């Protein structure tokens, strides 16, 4: 396996050493093949919002598996999950399930171009929308972590229509619209960034983006693969009160199984085959196992107090780490929204990818390795968000903060 992994973000290239191979997970904890135990803040990169290997999810999966793992034809579970997604997410009137966030973003980009008859798109520096060719321009996530060139192996023609701007910079977006009048199909963005570390939008940034797209006849696409059902039950768009035209989802709606989805206004979604001319297909899309895990996860998230609990424990975690950093003399900043968080070894504030790159990467390496020895597992990169779950206990948070203070006092 190239680099010893099947996804670059799992590698330890930026933090040193070899990636840890896990053997099992349960709740908020993981155990590696050597028997070491960790409090986990990666959460399978976001899906494990109710905790790993939840008993109710596993039981439902076992029952579904008795009927088969893939039908190659429609199944009722697809409709059940579709109705749950449509009722929850403000922008979605119709939805198409796929198998990954990358696939969802590929489909939604083709759809936006079909609907508008335009080809150019605007994305933001450090935002990651999967590894499709048009998005590998100033991308975040593993591309940023590993310091890779923008798009090796990608023909220039496939990225010629991709325009970029710094996140949180409205003037830059206005300039792109002015210099490409009538040519921009859509803006795609993470409404809260998770692939340059965790970065929140400035006040009125999303409102301004919404206004600009309407004024210029372009579509607004929220990539909520990370934020969907995590910042609130209706995603970041419900949390911030901004409704896009199209939305991509993943992670949580598969409950830990491979899944993705894109959806939006009916008039746009009816362009998708077989209802319309834009072709997109997938053999395993809407498979019964992923649908089952997603249904069970979303049911749990609807329970009263869910997001209040996530907000409380994540605030305690982040504030505890920031206080520990300042107490031990380190430049550090960070923040959270509900069950998503991040911190940087810089005074901050961090409003975009250039700001994030000012973080002390060498210090992060020392911190990361120290936390591993303390039994705490963060993403092996300064440029990835962290995730909490309903399974994280107050004791988990207390242990993590105490470990952080211990490590920070020694580096």
Please say whether the beta carbons of 408 and 328 come within 8 A.
yes
Rounded-to-integer distance, Cα 118 and Cα 389, Å: 40
Tell me the catalytic residues: 128, 223, 251
According to DSSP, the β-strands at 94-98 and 386-387 are unpaired
CA–CA–CA angle 384, 385, 386 (5° rounding): 120
Please say whether the beta carbons of 213 and 187 come within 8 A.
yes
Q: Which residues contact 249 (CB under 8 A, 6 or more apart)?
A: 85, 89, 101, 104, 224, 225, 228, 229, 235, 260, 261, 262, 263
Enter the tokens of residue 367: 């911190």
CA–CA–CA angle 178, 182, 186 (5° rounding): 90
Rounded-to-integer distance, Cα 272 and Cα 279, Å: 6
Rounded-to-integer distance, Cα 384 and Cα 381, Å: 6
According to DSSP, the β-strands at 29-32 and 162-165 are unpaired
Task: For residue 241, give the nearest of 36, 90, 88 by alpha carbon.
Answer: 90
Enter the tokens of residue 211: 């206004």
CA distances from 377 to 76, 313, 325 (A): 38, 17, 18
């Amino acid at each position: 396996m190239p680099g010893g992994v099947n996804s670059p973000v799992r590698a330890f290239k930026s933090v040193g050493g070899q990636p840890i191979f896990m053997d099992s997970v349960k709740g908020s904890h993981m155990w590696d093949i050597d028997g070491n135990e960790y409090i986990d803040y990666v959460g399978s990169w976001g899906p494990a919002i109710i905790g790993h290997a939840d008993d109710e999810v596993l039981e439902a999966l076992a029952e579904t598996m008795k009927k088969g793992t893939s039908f190659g034809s429609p199944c009722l579970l697809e409709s059940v999950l579709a109705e749950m997604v449509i009722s929850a997410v403000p922008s979605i009137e119709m939805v198409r399930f796929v198998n990954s966030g990358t696939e969802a973003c590929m489909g939604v980009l083709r759809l936006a171009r079909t609907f508008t008859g335009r080809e150019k798109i605007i994305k933001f520096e450090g935002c990651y929308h999967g590894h499709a060719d048009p998005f590998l321009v100033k991308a975040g996530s593993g591309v940023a972590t590993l310091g890779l060139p923008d798009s090796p192996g990608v023909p220039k023609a496939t990225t010629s229509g991709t325009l970029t701007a710094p996140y949180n910079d409205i003037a830059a977006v206005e300039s792109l619209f002015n210099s490409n009048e009538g040519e921009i199909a859509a803006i795609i963005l993470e409404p809260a960034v998770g692939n340059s570390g965790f970065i929140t939008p400035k006040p009125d940034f999303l409102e301004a983006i919404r206004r600009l797209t309407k004024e210029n006849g372009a579509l607004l696409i929220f990539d909520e693969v990370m934020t969907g059902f995590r910042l609130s039950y209706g995603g970041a768009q419900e949390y911030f009160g901004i409704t896009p035209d199209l939305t991509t989802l993943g992670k949580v709606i598969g409950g830990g199984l491979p899944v993705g989805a894109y959806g939006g206004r009916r008039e746009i979604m009816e362009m998708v085959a077989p209802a319309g001319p834009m072709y997109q297909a997938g053999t395993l899309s809407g498979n019964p196992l992923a649908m089952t895990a997603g249904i069970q996860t979303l049911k749990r998230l609807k329970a009263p107090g869910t997001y209040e609990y996530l907000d409380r424990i994540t605030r305690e975690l982040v504030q505890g780490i920031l206080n520990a950093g300042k107490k031990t003399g380190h430049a550090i900043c960070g923040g959270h929204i509900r069950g998503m968080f991040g911190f940087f070894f810089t005074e901050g504030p961090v409003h975009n990818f250039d700001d994030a790159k000012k973080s002390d990467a060498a210090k992060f390496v020392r911190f990361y390795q120290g936390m591993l020895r303390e039994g705490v597992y963060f993403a092996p990169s300064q440029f990835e968000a962290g995730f909490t779950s309903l399974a994280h206990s107050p004791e988990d948070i207390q242990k993590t903060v105490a470990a952080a203070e211990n490590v920070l006092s020694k580096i």
